[in-house]
Amino acid sequence: MKNECALTTLKIFVHTLILSIVASALHFAYTLSGENLFIGLFNPVNESVWEHLKFMFFPLLIWWVVVYLIQNKKCAIPLSTWIVSAAIALVAAPMSVVLSFYSYTGAFGIHALFMDIILVPLSYFIAMCVASHFLKYSSPNKWAAMISVVVITAILIMFIVFTLIPPQLPVFYDTVTQIYGI
The model's pLDDT over 138-166, given as tens digits with 9 standing for 90+, comes to 888 899 999 999 999 999 999 999 999 99
Cα separation, 88 vs 134, whole angstroms: 8
- pTM here is 0.89
Q: Is the pLDDT of residue 83 over 70?
A: yes
- What are the residue ranges spanned by the domains of the chain? 9-180
Contacts of 178 (CB under 8 A, 6+ apart): none
Q: Which amino acid is at 84?
A: V
For helices 49-74 and 79-102, angle between their N-to-C axes, nearest 10 degrees: 150
pLDDT in tens, 39-80: 999 999 999 999 999 999 999 999 999 988 887 777 777 888
From residue 148, alpha-carbon distances to 28, 129, 142 in Å are: 30, 18, 10
131, 92 contact by CB (below 8 A): yes
